């Protein structure tokens, strides 16, 4: 069962964009499995972004993500969900992200790109496990609209 970790980064929270961004995911028909407000500490940031350790932007990335509260969510349940969310999020650099994408509609700079979304089902599993305890998630829950969204 495929799912993605979403982080509404500190700039999204500070700018009052939690609602508008979550609304887009909901309106698309995606289903939440978990949701919370939290402060990311340095150890968690370094673990989450381990693949970027050693890159020039790593220190700035860790200080950005730990600078203020974030909202983390788990979204998914269907094959293809991760790819669909990445398409909604847009290119890493908001200046290059297409209009209509979250980064393309709300962002300007790569170091303030509002949202993280897992880039593969495998990273989704890894990232969900480091941000959520199993008891914080509701993996299967019935929604009346499901048959109108999924064939
Ligand atoms: P992604 O978030 O689109 O998956 P990644 O390449 O995985 O992009 O990079 C992780 C995060 O690191 C980006 O979302 C962005 O916040 C930050 N980042 C990536 N490249 C740069 C850069 O060149 N300058 C500053 N920040 C960067
Ligand atoms: Mg990434």
Q: Indicate the domain borders of the chain.
A: 2-38+70-140
Minimum-distance ligand to the CA of 97? 1
Quickly state the pLDDT bin for 134 (edges 50, 70, 90). Answer: very high
Collect residues with CB below 5 Å from ion ligand 2: 119
Which pairs count as long-range contacts for 84-90, CB under 8 Å and 24+ apart, including other chains?
84/28, 84/30, 85/4, 85/6, 85/25, 85/30, 85/117, 85/118, 86/117, 86/119, 88/24, 88/25, 88/28, 89/115, 89/117
- Tens digits of per-residue pLDDT, 111-132? 999 999 999 999 999 999 999 9
CA 145 to ligand 1 center in whole angstroms? 35
Three-class DSSP category at 143: coil
Pocket test for ligand 1, best of 7, 10, 61 (most atoms within 8 A of CB): 61
Fold entry, domain 2-38+70-140: Alpha-Beta Plaits (3.30.70)
Q: Given the structure tokens 């995911």, which residue do they identify?
A: 25
Q: Reduce the secondary structure of 22-66 to three states and give it as a string.
A: HHHHHHHCCCEEEEEEECCCHHHHHHHCHHHCCCCCHHHHHHHHC
pLDDT digits (tens, 9 = 90+) for 52-101: 999 999 999 999 999 999 999 999 988 999 999 999 999 999 999 999 99
CA distance 2 to 78: 6
pLDDT band at 39 (very low <50, low <70, confident <90, very high): very high
Query: Count of CB atoms within 10 A of residue 61's CB?
Result: 20
d(CA 60, CA 130) in angstroms, rounded, equals 21
| pTM for this model (two decimals) | 0.98
**Count of CB atoms situated within 10 Å of the CB of 68:** 13
Distance 117 CA to ligand 2 centre (A): 7
């Amino acid at each position: 069962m495929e799912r993605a970790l979403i982080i509404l980064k500190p700039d999204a929270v500070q700018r009052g964009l939690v609602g508008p961004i979550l609304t887009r995911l909901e309106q698309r028909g995606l289903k939440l499995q978990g949701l919370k407000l939290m402060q990311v500490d340095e150890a968690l940031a370094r673990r989450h972004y381990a693949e970027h350790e050693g890159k020039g932007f790593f220190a700035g990335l860790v200080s950005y993500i730990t600078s203020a509260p974030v909202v983390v969510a788990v979204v998914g349940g269907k094959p293809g969900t991760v790819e669909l969310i990445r398409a909604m999020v847009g290119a890493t650099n908001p200046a290059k992200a297409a209009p209509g994408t979250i980064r393309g509609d709300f962002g300007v700079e790569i170091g303030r790109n509002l949202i993280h979304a897992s880039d593969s089902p495998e990273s989704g599993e890894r990232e969900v496990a480091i941000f959520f305890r199993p008891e914080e998630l509701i993996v299967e829950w019935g929604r009346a609209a499901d048959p109108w969204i999924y064939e």
